[in-house]
Structure 1
């Protein structure tokens, strides 16, 4: 099965996922953003910090 076929087959099991982001020191759902802020959020780059090496 291709990805699209799998999604159609399992659509009845899917639920809506709320995405929150930190704005001005507190968390807000992205769903409540205006159109400009949603666009800005979509353009953000995700990154993962590397673990620091401890110097003994």
Structure 2
């Protein structure tokens, strides 16, 4: 099991809508960090379309 897996025995309670809080997303832009909510509509759209690179492990031998 990797450290990202959640065991099935763990009971996760669901929150009601009124119990939720908005998560503020920040990203690095031109060497500094900014909240995505401060972007203009075009930049927010570009941010939603980003594809993230996932590096796999290299096999030796």
User: What range is the shorter-chain TM-score in?
Assistant: 0.5 to 0.7
**If the length of structure 1 is used for normalisation, what is the TM-score?**
0.68
Which structure carries more helix by proportion? Answer: 1
**If the length of structure 2 is used for normalisation, what is the TM-score?**
0.63
Q: 1:52 to 1:27 in 2, by over 3 A?
A: farther
The residue that corresponds to 2:34 in the other structure is 28
The residue that corresponds to 1:46 in the other structure is 52
Aligned residues: 47
Contiguous gaps of at least 5 residues in structure 1: 1-8
